[in-house]
Amino acid sequence: MFSDRVQINIRSGKGGDGHVSFRRELYVPNGGPDGGDGGNGGDVIFEVDPGISTLADFRHKRTYAAGDGKEGGKQRRHGKSGDDIVLKVPEGTIIRDLETGKIIADMSGSPGLRKTILHGGKGGIGNMHFATSVMQAPRYAKPGKPALERAVVLELKCMADVGLIGFPNVGKSTFLSRVTHAQPKIANYHFTTLHPNLGVVDFGDHQDGFVLADIPGLIENASQGEGLGHRFLQHIERTRYLIHVVDGAGIEGRDPYDDICTINHELSSYSPQLAEKPQVIALNKMDLLPEVERKRVSEELQERLGGDAGPRVFCVSCATSEGLWDVLSYVRGQLASMQQDRIVYESEFSPEDELIRDELPFTVTRKKGEFYIEGPRIEKMLGYTNLESEKGFLFFQDFLRDNGINDELIRLGVQEGDTVHVCSYDFEYYE
CB 116 within 8 A of CB 47: no
- If one asks whether residue 52 binds ligand GTP (CB under 6 A), the answer comes out as no
CB 282 within 8 A of CB 245: yes
Torsion of CA 251, 254, 257, 258, to 10 degrees: -160
Q: How far is the CB of 222 from ligand GTP (least distance, A)?
A: 12
Pick 191 or 427: Cβ nearer Mg ion: 191
* Residue numbers 56-85 binding ligand GTP by CB under 6 A: none
The interface partner of residue 88, options being Mg ion, ligand GTP, none and the CB cut-off 5 to 8 Å by kind, is none
Binds ligand GTP (CB under 6 A): choice among 151, 198, 275, 319: 319
The interface partner of residue 317, options being Mg ion, ligand GTP, none and the CB cut-off 5 to 8 Å by kind, is ligand GTP
* Residue numbers 156-195 binding ligand GTP by CB under 6 A: 168-174, 186-188, 190-193
Interatomic CA distance for residues 399 and 270, integer angstroms = 28
Exposed, middle or buried: residue 247 (CB in 10 Å: 0-12, 13-18, 19+)?
buried
Pick 82 or 216: Cβ nearer ligand GTP: 216
* Residue numbers 179-198 binding Mg ion by CB under 5 A: 192-193
Instruction: State the residue number with the nearest CB to ligand GTP.
Output: 217
The span of 203-211, 300-308, 312-320, 414-422 binding ligand GTP (CB under 6 A) equals 312-320
Rounded to 10°, the helix 256-270/291-304 angle is: 40
* Residue numbers 251-290 binding ligand GTP by CB under 6 A: 284-285, 287-288
Interatomic CA distance for residues 87 and 65, integer angstroms = 10
The interface partner of residue 219, options being Mg ion, ligand GTP, none and the CB cut-off 5 to 8 Å by kind, is none
Pick 173 or 317: Cβ nearer Mg ion: 173
Residues with Cβ < 8 Å from 398, sequence gap 6 or more? none
Instruction: Give strand ranges (E) for 358-416.
Output: 363-367, 370-374
CB 151 within 8 A of CB 98: yes
Interatomic CA distance for residues 235 and 266, integer angstroms = 14
Strand partners, 372: 365, 421
DSSP assignments along 163-231, one per residue: EEE-STTSSHHHHHHHHSS------SSTT---S-EEEEE--SSSS--EEEEEPPP--TTGGGTGGGHHH
The interface partner of residue 410, options being Mg ion, ligand GTP, none and the CB cut-off 5 to 8 Å by kind, is none
Pick 20 or 170: Cβ nearer ligand GTP: 170
Pick 321 or 334: Cβ nearer ligand GTP: 321
Q: How far is the CB of 177 from ligand GTP (least distance, A)?
A: 7
Q: How far is the CB of 100 from ligand GTP (least distance, A)?
A: 33
Of 410, 428, 411, which is closest to residue 419 (Cα–Cα)? 428
Of 241, 219, 248, 252, which is closest to residue 313 (Cα–Cα)? 248
Q: How far is the CB of 343 from ligand GTP (least distance, A)?
A: 24
Pick 188 or 415: Cβ nearer ligand GTP: 188
Q: By CB under 6 A, name the binding residues for ligand GTP.
A: 168-174, 186-188, 190-193, 216-217, 284-285, 287-288, 317-319
Could you list the residues that contact Mg ion (CB under 5 A)? 173, 192-193
